[in-house]
């Protein structure tokens, strides 16, 4: 069970800020593929991975990173703070 979070327009496309996902996905990309297979709104949100960033347990990471032991995955567009 992984906590999956969405921010900014990713959140808007998915339609919710977070959800608990039952998954055996080995990597972030595997998780993305599982989600995209579910419903069109996931396909819309994950259409272009180069426009997205991912954080694992609140640390910026990569889409090919393993999910082993990870409790929280967050997807969002490039940050615009400051």
Partner 1 sequence: MDIRVQTEPFSVGDVLDGFGKGSHDIGAVVSFTGIVRDTGGLTRMVIEHYPGMTERAINEIASEAMERWSLADCLVIHRHGTLVPGDQIMMVATASRHRAAAFEAAEFLMDYLKSRAPFWKKEFGPDGAEWVAAKDEDEDALSRW
Is 63 one of the binding residues for partner 1 (CB under 8 A)? no
Max intra-chain CA distance, the chain? 37
Please spell the DSSP secondary structure of 48-70, one letter per residue: -GGG-EEEETTEEE-TT-B-TT-
Instruction: List beta partners, residue 6.
Output: 75
CB of 56 to partner 1, least distance (A): 10
Site mask for partner 1 (CB under 8 A), range 17-46, x = bound: ------------------------------
**Member of 19, 49, 60, 62 binding partner 1 (CB under 8 A):** 60
Residue closest to 71 by CA, chosen among 11, 5, 6: 5
Q: Tell whether residue 76 is a contact of partner 1 (CB under 8 A).
A: yes
Which residues of this protein are in contact with partner 1, per CB under 8 A? 5, 7-9, 11, 55, 58-60, 74, 76-82
């Amino acid at each position: 069970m992984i906590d999956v979070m969405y921010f900014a327009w990713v959140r808007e496309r998915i339609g919710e800020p977070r959800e608990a996902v039952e998954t055996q996905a080995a990597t972030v990309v595997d998780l993305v593929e599982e989600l995209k297979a579910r419903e069109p709104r996931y396909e819309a949100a994950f259409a272009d991975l180069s426009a997205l960033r991912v954080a694992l347990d609140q640390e910026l990471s990569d889409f090919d990173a393993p999910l082993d032991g990870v409790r929280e995955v967050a997807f969002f567009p490039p940050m615009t703070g400051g």
